[in-house]
């Protein structure tokens, strides 16, 4: 298992690097797909197969497809992509943040942070760890308030998206002033709901 874990980790890091360095968003999405798959692999090797499968199902199967949808809808040409310039502060900010999180990670693994990481072999997974039952019990028992708060947040986001999405979708229609204009393009809002 350890070997698999490190293999998946290496793939995840490599694909993540490939993702951020690709110029074309389609390729970035493709590498992101590989990255998500290898992160799912990491979850599985850590005895959290439920989480791993959900990772593929939601992130790779649904959210990334929406990314792809938008990328293909815009379909930027090569010239447009090359015309785009990166501002100087962006890589600097990225580097600073990256170093911060890397430091956090090193501190968690090697230092004496609270909830310090324990090597895999010294801490065998308890029976039923990562299973669907275990996962459901944790979410709906221990963290039920947080979970419900998150769902409220998501509903607020959906409502906001609908509001923003519908604002500019009322074209003036000659000859139909007696009735209120129906939403012209229904799919947009529906896709937004899902996002």
Partner 1 sequence: MAVTHDEAVERTDERKSSWVERLYLREIVAGLANTFRHLVFESPFTTQYPEETIPYNPRARGEHILKVDEQGREKCVACLLCEAACPSKCIRIVPGPAPWDDRERYPVEFEIDMLRCIYCGFCEDACPCDAIELTPKPYTVFDRRETALYDKEKLKNNYPQDWRERFSDGYGKQTGPPFRREAGDRSLIR
Partner 2 sequence: MNISIWNILVAVGVVGLALQIVPGLIWAERKVCARIQGRRGPNRVGPFGLLQPVADAIKLLTKEEIVPAGVDKPLYYLGPFLVFVPAALAMAVVPWGHDMVIGGQRVPLQVAELHVGVLFVLACTSLGVYGIAFGGWASNSKYPLLAALRSSAQMISYEVAMGLAVVAVVMTAGSVDLREIVAVQQGTWFGVVPQWLVFKQPIAALLFLVAAFAENNRLPFDLPEAESELVGGYHTEYSGMKFAMFFLGEYVAMITMSAVLVTLFFGGWGFPGLVDPSSTSVGSALLSFAVFLAKVSFFLFFYLWVRWTLPRFRYDQLMMLGWKALIPLALFNVVATGFVGIL
Nearest approach, Cβ of 99 to partner 2 (angstroms)?
32
Cβ proximity to partner 1, 128 vs 182, nearer residue = 182
Looking only at residues 165 through 194 of this chain, which bind partner 2 when binding is defined by CB under 8 A? 186-187, 190-191, 193-194
Among 10, 17, 20, 65, binds partner 2 (CB under 8 A): 65
CB 18 within 8 A of CB 32: no
Report which of 195, 194, 168 is spatially closest to residue 183, judged by C-alpha positions: 168
Nearest approach, Cβ of 191 to partner 2 (angstroms)?
7
Looking only at residues 125 through 184 of this chain, which bind partner 1 when binding is defined by CB under 8 A? 175-176, 182, 184
Q: What tokens appear for 43 in the block?
A: 């979850």
What is the rounded CA–CA span in Å between residue 161 and residue 188? 10
**Residue 76 binds which entry of partner 1, partner 2, none, CB below 5-8 Å type-dependent:** none
Q: How many residues does the chain have?
A: 195
CB 169 within 8 A of CB 183: yes
In sequence order, what are the residues at sequence separation of 6 or more whose Cβ sits closer than 8 angstroms to the Cβ of residue 183?
Answer: 166, 169, 170, 189
Cβ proximity to partner 2, 65 vs 110, nearer residue = 65
What is the rounded CA–CA span in Å between residue 166 and residue 189? 7
Interface with partner 1 (CB under 8 A) = 175-176, 182, 184
Interface with partner 2 (CB under 8 A) = 26-27, 30, 33, 49-50, 53-54, 56-57, 60-62, 65-66, 68-69, 72-73, 75, 131-132, 186-187, 190-191, 193-194
């Amino acid at each position: 298992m350890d070997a698999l874990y490190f293999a998946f980790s290496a793939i995840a890091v490599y694909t993540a690097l490939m993702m951020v360095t690709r110029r074309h968003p389609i390729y970035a999405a493709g590498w992101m797909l590989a990255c998500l798959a290898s992160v799912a692999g990491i979850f599985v090797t850590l005895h959290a197969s439920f989480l791993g499968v959900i990772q593929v199902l939601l992130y790779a199967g649904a959210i990334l497809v929406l990314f792809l949808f938008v990328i293909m809808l815009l379909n930027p040409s090569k010239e447009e992509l090359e015309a785009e310039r990166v501002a100087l502060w962006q890589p600097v900010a990225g580097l600073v943040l990256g170093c911060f999180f890397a430091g956090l990670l090193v501190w968690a693994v090697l230092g004496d942070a609270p909830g310090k990481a324990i090597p895999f072999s010294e801490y065998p997974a308890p029976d039923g760890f990562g299973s669907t039952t275990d996962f459901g019990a944790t979410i709906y028992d221990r963290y039920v308030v947080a979970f419900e708060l998150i769902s409220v947040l998501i509903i607020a986001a959906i409502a906001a998206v609908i509001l923003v999405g519908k604002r500019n979708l009322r074209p003036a229609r000659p000859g139909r002033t007696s009735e209120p204009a129906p939403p012209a393009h229904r799919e947009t809002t529906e896709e937004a709901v899902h996002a």
